Amino acid sequence: MSTKIKTFVEYQQQYELSISNPEAFWADKADSFVWRKKWDKVLEWNFEDPNIQWFINGKLNITENCIDRHLSTKGDKTAIIWEPNNPDTPVRKLTYNELYLEVSKFANVLKNNNVKKGDRVCLYMPMVPELAIAVLACARIGAIHSVVFAGFSSNSLADRIKDSKVSLVVTSDGAYRGNKSMGIKKIVDEAIVSCPTVEKVIVYQHTNEPVHLVEGRDVWWTEEMNKVSSTCEPEIMDSEDPLFILYTSGSTGTPKGVLHTTGGYMVYVDYSFQNIFQVEDNSVYWCTADIGWITGHSYLTYAPLLAGATTIIFEGVPTFPDASRFWQVIDKHNVTHFYTAPTAIRSLMSFGLEPLENSKLDSLKVLGSVGEPINEEAWHWYHNHVGKGNCPIVDTWWQTETGGILISPLAGITPTKPSYATLPLPGVQPIIVDTDGNELLGNNVEGNLCMKFPWPSIIRTTYGDHERCRQNYFSTYKGLYFTGDGCRRDEDGYYRILGRVDDVINVSGHRMGTAEVENAINEHDDVIESAVVGYPHDIKGQGIYAFVICDNTTKNVETLRVEITNVVAKIIGPIAKPDRIQVVRGLPKTRSGKIMRRILRKVAEGDISSLGDTSTLLDPTVVDDIIKGALVPLKA
């Protein structure tokens, strides 16, 4: 396995090396894996098309690297610990040997159900070990997995299934979430009505609630598993064969399917994981993200297994049975590495220190943060009360499109600084540009964050629409990958992510396009038009503020708000419900019809002292009415 950086000086040397000779640098990292055939060339790339290829003509299977190669030394080591929603339900543990058997068997089940290399398989499941097993089984046979977070609505699920022409869906009867249980299979049934490509559905029994199986289409996980053998030779994949698709929101249109490939993704997530988290052989690593998000793909599933570590899959929520759950689980499993989101930390902070009082938390060594900027207050609370002042916090900046963490401290090795993601990993070349694309050199600068050189796990395309990939990430600034984030490089050269500069909002670490939410709101019969912006929210980071124009409706505002909220939950999912809905007479538009979101953002923030010039608006008086009806105390 690749050697870990152990000192700050070594980090600096490795960084220099990775810039002066990227191909030699990454070839060295890739050498530690099992390849069925070595690559001919490390890298070919251009950011114009874009066309990016790593470890060209290398042949491998990522699951052989996640599982098989550990068996001789770590077969009996725990690979996965499953902590159920209800703390009274027994924990499940799978050793690497057991994981090997389960993955091989389910890979054979997929084959028996007609899945072939390159086919798309959609996974719509709660956080049970079978989700990770299904992910790995797809990778074992070269099927492309598309995991859809089980909180998305049937409508969102259908869009994703259709976009990638999925032939098989894996799901469960139901899911538990805190003290609730909900149907999952029925959401799949609703979705599939409009998805003619789906031929098979495999159902894992979890909550035992009654479900309807469609004859000839739907089969039970367990019955299928009883029919197959427990060996499955890994499909030999090209380094650039697709590994998975993961849908993510952007500033325009519907979510796009970010496509990641095999060799580069494997090398980068392993390298970043090992160096950032510094896990050791006896570590117990817990990432609280759902496998439905990129963090759950890269740093709950693939990277910990590549590293031969023990990874926890948690089915529940931070506040069930009460707000001490995370801390209880940390003590219960002696968690050494804990990786969560600022929104969870802020939410738990609001319960005070009492929920922490019965937990020792003395197994902890490293804390991680991901998904959104972590404010200083939350950073210090996390550091002092969870880490007891002894655990470095790795504030890890990355995106679905980057595949792996690009900017982060290395735990215990490089400095930390509250609210800073700090320094780029070796191989990562950030550049800050102004709005015209001029590079801002030196320190103490602020602008838009781009990357000027590819790293092995960079997005390759957006599924079925390469032009959209080019447009979105590679056309704003010529020759650069544009992240969509604003960024400051301080006087010491440390990076601080300032948040999105496009029409993407980040609600509790979940990415959402304002256009996507607007389209959902507009589905309500009485809504004529809407405009959505983000505003600062104490716990969620950003909240969703919707300004809506309604037809001459007789309904009262409260009824409208409830109905609109329900429409959004139905069309996208509960995570996209607006926090505030203001019914307005008009929206601030320019004479060319463009909504001036800047003004709406200011109103939503409660700051009307600097609205800027409103005289160019078609009807400046709408702004006065919006201010009068605003749902927050306004600072003049």
- Residues forming the site for ligand 7RM (CB under 6 A): 248, 293-295, 369-373, 395-400, 421, 483-485, 497, 499-500, 506, 509, 511
Q: Write down the least CB distance from residue 369 to ligand 7RM, Å.
A: 6
Is the separation of the CB atoms in 517 and 255 below 8 Å? no
Query: What is the distance between the alpha carbons of residues 2 and 591, in angstroms, rounded to a whole number?
Result: 59
Q: Which residues is 337 bridged to in the sheet?
A: 285, 366
Q: How far is CA 454 from CA 77, 198, 479, in A?
A: 35, 35, 11
Backbone φ, ψ for residue 167 (5° rounding): -105, -20
Query: What is the distance between the alpha carbons of residues 632 and 123, in angstroms, rounded to a whole number?
Result: 40
Q: Write down the least CB distance from residue 512 to ligand 7RM, Å.
A: 10
Q: Write down the least CB distance from residue 388 to ligand 7RM, Å.
A: 22
Query: What is the distance between the alpha carbons of residues 408 and 414, in angstroms, rounded to a whole number?
Result: 9
337 Cβ contact partners less than 8 Å away, ≥ 6 residues apart: 277, 279, 283, 284, 285, 286, 364, 365, 366, 368
Q: Write down the least CB distance from residue 400 to ligand 7RM, Å.
A: 4
Tokens of 114: 């007609």
Q: Write down the least CB distance from residue 615 to ligand 7RM, Å.
A: 33
**Position 365, amino acid:** K
* CB closer to ligand 7RM out of 149 and 204: 149
* CB closer to ligand 7RM out of 367 and 587: 367
Q: Is 425 exposed, middle or buried (0-12, 13-18, 19+ CB in 10 A)?
A: buried
Q: Write down the least CB distance from residue 249 to ligand 7RM, Å.
A: 8
Q: Which residues is 174 bridged to in the sheet?
A: 183
Q: Write down the least CB distance from residue 254 to ligand 7RM, Å.
A: 16
Distance from chain centroid for Cα 33: 25
* CB closer to ligand 7RM out of 124 and 420: 420
* CB closer to ligand 7RM out of 383 and 500: 500
* CB closer to ligand 7RM out of 294 and 595: 294
* CB closer to ligand 7RM out of 336 and 506: 506
Q: Write down the least CB distance from residue 530 to ligand 7RM, Å.
A: 23
442 Cβ contact partners less than 8 Å away, ≥ 6 residues apart: none
Query: What is the distance between the alpha carbons of residues 461 and 472, in angstroms, rounded to a whole number?
Result: 10
* CB closer to ligand 7RM out of 182 and 501: 501
* CB closer to ligand 7RM out of 278 and 582: 278
* CB closer to ligand 7RM out of 511 and 540: 511
Q: Give the three-class secondary structure for 453.
A: coil
Q: Which residue has the tokens 């590495």?
A: 337
Q: Which residues is 343 bridged to in the sheet?
A: none
* CB closer to ligand 7RM out of 65 and 422: 422
Q: Write down the least CB distance from residue 407 to ligand 7RM, Å.
A: 8
* CB closer to ligand 7RM out of 290 and 485: 485
* CB closer to ligand 7RM out of 484 and 588: 484
Distance from chain centroid for Cα 199: 28
Query: What is the distance between the alpha carbons of residues 583 and 458, in angstroms, rounded to a whole number?
Result: 42
Residue 217 DSSP label: T
Q: Write down the least CB distance from residue 511 to ligand 7RM, Å.
A: 4
* CB closer to ligand 7RM out of 326 and 397: 397
Of 309, 267, 410, which Cα lies nearest the Cα of 300? Answer: 309
Q: Write down the least CB distance from residue 84 to ligand 7RM, Å.
A: 25
Is the separation of the CB atoms in 484 and 511 below 8 Å? no
Query: What is the distance between the alpha carbons of residues 303 and 29, in angstroms, rounded to a whole number?
Result: 14
* CB closer to ligand 7RM out of 250 and 316: 250
Residue 198 DSSP label: -
Q: Write down the least CB distance from residue 299 to ligand 7RM, Å.
A: 9
Residue 401 DSSP label: G
- Helix (H) / strand (E) containing 139: helix 129-141
Q: Write down the least CB distance from residue 372 to ligand 7RM, Å.
A: 5
Q: Write down the least CB distance from residue 457 to ligand 7RM, Å.
A: 12
Query: What is the distance between the alpha carbons of residues 229 and 35, in angstroms, rounded to a whole number?
Result: 25
Count Cβ atoms below 10 Å from residue 441 Cβ, excluding itself. Answer: 9
Q: Which residue has the tokens 């950032």?
A: 276
Query: What is the distance between the alpha carbons of residues 486 and 210, in angstroms, rounded to a whole number?
Result: 48
Query: What is the distance between the alpha carbons of residues 68 and 332, in angstroms, rounded to a whole number?
Result: 29
Determine the angle formed by the axes of helices 263-277 and 22-30, rounding to 10 degrees.
90
**Position 5, amino acid:** I
